Amino acid sequence: MLQIKNLHTSVEGKEILKGISIDVKPGEIHAIMGPNGSGKSTLANVLAGHEKYQVTEGEIIYEGENLLEQAPEERAKNGIFLSFQYPIEIPGVSMVNFLKTAVNEHRKHKGQEPLSASQFLKLMEEKKKVVEISSQLTNRSVNEGFSGGEKKRNEIYQMAMLEPKLAILDETDSGLDIDALRVVAKGVNALKSPENATIVVTHYQRLLEYIVPDYVHVLYDGKIVKSAGKELALELEEKGYDWIKNES
Amino acid sequence: MTETIKYTATEELAELFTQNREMYEEGCPGFMNRVRSDALEKFVKAGIPSRKNENYKYTDLRPVFQNDFSVLPRYVQQQVDLHEMFHCDVPQLNTHLVLLINGWYYGHNRKIGQLPDGVVLGSLNHVAREHPHLIEKAYNQLAGKSDDPIANLNTAMAKDGLFLYVPDNVTIDKPIQIVNLLYAKENTFAVQRNMFVLGKNSEATIVFCDHTLNNNYYILNNLSECFPEEDSRFNFYAVQNMHNGAVNNTHFFADLKARANLHTNTLTLNGGVVRNNLNIKLKGEYAHADLNGLALADEEQHIDNFIAIDHSVPNCTSNQLYKNILDEQSSGAFTGRIHVLRDAQKTEAYQRNNNVLLSETAEMNTKPQLIIDADDVRCSHGATVGRIDEDALFYLRTRGINEKEARLMIMFAFADEVLSQVNIKVLRQRLEELVNRRLRGELGPCQSCSFNRRN
Ligand SMILES: Nc1ncnc2c1ncn2[C@@H]1O[C@H](COP(=O)(O)OP(=O)(O)OP(=O)(O)O)[C@@H](O)[C@H]1O
Ligand SMILES: [Mg+2]
* Domain spans of chain B, in order of start: 5-388
User: What's the pLDDT score for residue B449?
Assistant: 38
Rounded to the nearest angstrom, the minimum Cα separation between A45 and chain B is: 10
Considering only CA atoms, which residue is closest to atom 18 of ligand 1? A39
Confidence (pLDDT) at B451: 35
Helix-helix angle B149-157:B36-46, to 10 degrees: 150
- Mark yes or no for CB contact B389/A90 under 8 Å: yes
Chain A contact present for B404, CB below 8 A: no
Q: Is some CB atom of chain A closer than 8 A to the CB atom of B401? A: yes
Using DSSP bridges, classify how beta strands B70-71 and A223-228 pair: parallel, antiparallel or unpaired. unpaired
Put simply, the answer to whether A90 touches B414 (Cβ < 8 Å) is: no
Mean pLDDT value of segment B28-37: 97
Measured between alpha carbons, how far is B429 from B436 in angstroms, rounded to an integer? Answer: 10
For chain A positions 122-141, those within 8 Å of chain B (CB to CB) are: 141
Q: Name the DSSP letter for residue B359.
A: S
Q: How far apart are the first and last CA of chain B?
A: 31
Alpha helices in B26-96 (DSSP H): 30-33, 36-46, 62-65, 82-85
The yes-or-no verdict on residue B454 having pLDDT over 50 is no
pLDDT in tens, A197-247: 999 998 888 888 888 899 999 999 999 988 888 888 778 877 777 777 766
Q: Identify the three-state secondary structure at position B92.
A: coil
Beta bridge partners of A10: A15, A54
A35 alpha carbon – ligand 2 mean position (Å) = 9
* Beta-bridge mates of residue B333: B304, B365
Mutate to test the pocket of ligand 1, among A10, A15, A16 (most ligand atoms within 8 A of CB): A16
For residue B104, give Cα distances in angstroms to A115, A202, B19, B76, B182. Answer: 51, 71, 21, 9, 10
Residue A56 neighbours by CB under 8 Å, 6+ apart: A8, A9, A10, A15
pLDDT at A100 over 80: yes
Query: What pLDDT is attached to residue B302?
Result: 97
Per-residue burial over A232-248, b = 16 or more CB atoms within 10 Å of its CB, e = otherwise: bbebbeeeebeebeeee
Query: Measured from the CB, is residue A39 less than 6 Å from ligand 1?
Result: yes
Those of residues 157-186 in A touching chain B at CB distance below 8 A are 158, 162
CA separation for the pair B363, B354 (Å, rounded): 13
pLDDT for B75 equals 87
Task: Compute the distance from residue A53 Cα to the ligand 2 centre, in Å.
Answer: 14
Measure CA B301 to chain center.
16
Ligand 1 centroid to A18 CA: how many Å? 13
pTM (two decimals)? 0.89
pLDDT at B88: 61
Helices A148-162 and A117-131, axial angle in degrees (round to 10): 130
- Name the more confident of B452 and B375: B375
Give the containing element (helix H, strand E) for B193: strand B188-198
CA pair distance A176, A160, nearest whole angstrom: 18
Closest by CA to A26, choosing from A165, A163, A191, A212, is A165
Report the half-sphere exposure of A91 (CA within 13 A, side-chain side).
7
- Mean pLDDT of all residues in chain A? 90
Q: What is the pLDDT of residue B384?
A: 95
User: What average pLDDT does this structure show over B187-210?
Assistant: 96
The three-point CA angle A37-A43-A45 to 5° equals 105
Q: What is the mean pLDDT of residues A106-134?
A: 91
Percent of chain B whose predicted confidence (pLDDT) is above 70: 95
Local structure of A12: helix, strand or coil: coil
Best residue of B352, B356, B384, B395 to probe chain A, by most A CBs closer than 10 Å? B395
| B391 to chain A: closest CA residue | A88
A 69-128 residues inside an 8 A Cβ radius of B: 71-73, 75-77, 81-82, 84, 87-93, 97-99, 101-102, 105-106, 109
Rounded CA separation B95/B90 (Å): 10
A84 lines ligand 1 (CB under 6 A): no
> Distance from the CA of A28 to the center of ligand 1, in angstroms?
26
User: How confident is the model over A151-160, as a mean pLDDT?
Assistant: 92
Q: Integer distance in angstroms from the first to the last C-alpha of chain A?
A: 28
* pLDDT at position B218: 96
Q: Is the CB of A37 under 6 A from ligand 1?
A: yes
Residue A53, φ and ψ in degrees, nearest 5 = -95, 120
Range list of H helices, chain A: 40-48, 72-77, 95-109, 117-131, 135-138, 148-162, 178-191, 205-210, 231-239, 242-247
Q: Smallest CA–CA separation between A214 and chain B, in Å?
A: 26
pLDDT digits 0-9 by tens, B207-238? 999 999 999 999 999 999 999 999 999 999 99
- Cβ–ligand 1 contact at A129 (below 6 Å): no
Q: Are A73 and B394 inside 8 Å of each other by CB?
A: no
What was the pLDDT predicted at B89?
Answer: 61
Q: Which residues of chain A neighbour B405 with C-beta distances below 8 Å?
A: 101, 105
pLDDT digits 0-9 by tens, A162-178: 999 999 999 988 888 88
Where in B373-426 does DSSP place strands (E)? 377-386
A154 lines ligand 1 (CB under 6 A): no
Cβ A52 under 6 angstroms from ligand 1: yes
Please state, for a pLDDT cut of 90, what percent of chain A lies above it.
Answer: 67
Of B400, B402, B414, the CB nearest to A92: B414
Task: Report residue A118 CA to chain centroid gap.
Answer: 29
Name the helix (H) or strand (E) containing B17: helix B9-19
Inter-chain contact B413–A48, Cβ cutoff 8 Å?
no
The reported pLDDT for the residue numbered A180 is 82
CB burial string B223-248: b at 16+ within 10 A, e below:
bbbbbbbbbbbbbbbbbbbbbbbbbb
> What are the DSSP calls for A38-105, one per residue?
SSHHHHHHHHHT-TTEEEEEEEEEETTEEGGGS-HHHHHHTTEEEE-SSPPPEEEEEHHHHHHHHHHH
Which amino acid residue places its CA nearest to atom 16 of ligand 1?
Answer: A39
What confidence category does residue B334 fall into, taking pLDDT thresholds of 50, 70 and 90? very high
Q: What is the position in ligand 1's atom list of the atom closest to the CA of A42?
A: 18
Which among B399, B414, B417 is the nearest to A102, CB-wise? Answer: B399
**Predicted confidence band of residue B266 (pLDDT cuts 50, 70, 90):** very high
Does ligand 1 lie within 6 Å of residue A46's CB atom?
no
A179, pLDDT greater than 50: yes
Q: With a 6 A CB cut-off, is A11 part of the ligand 1 pocket?
A: yes
- Ligand 1, atom 6: nearest CA belongs to which residue? A11
Q: Which residue of A has its CA nearest to B404?
A: A73
pLDDT in tens, B59-98: 999 999 998 899 988 888 888 888 877 766 655 567 788 9
Reply yes or no on whether the pLDDT at A37 is more than 70.
yes
Output the pLDDT for position B92. Answer: 58
Shortest CA gap A21–chain B (Å): 23
What are the CA-CA distances from residue B273 to residues B65, B333, B368 (Å)? Answer: 11, 11, 21
Task: Give yes or no for B402 touching A (CB within 8 A).
Answer: yes
Q: Rounded to an integer, what distance in angstroms lies between the CA atom of residue B395 and that of residue A98?
A: 11
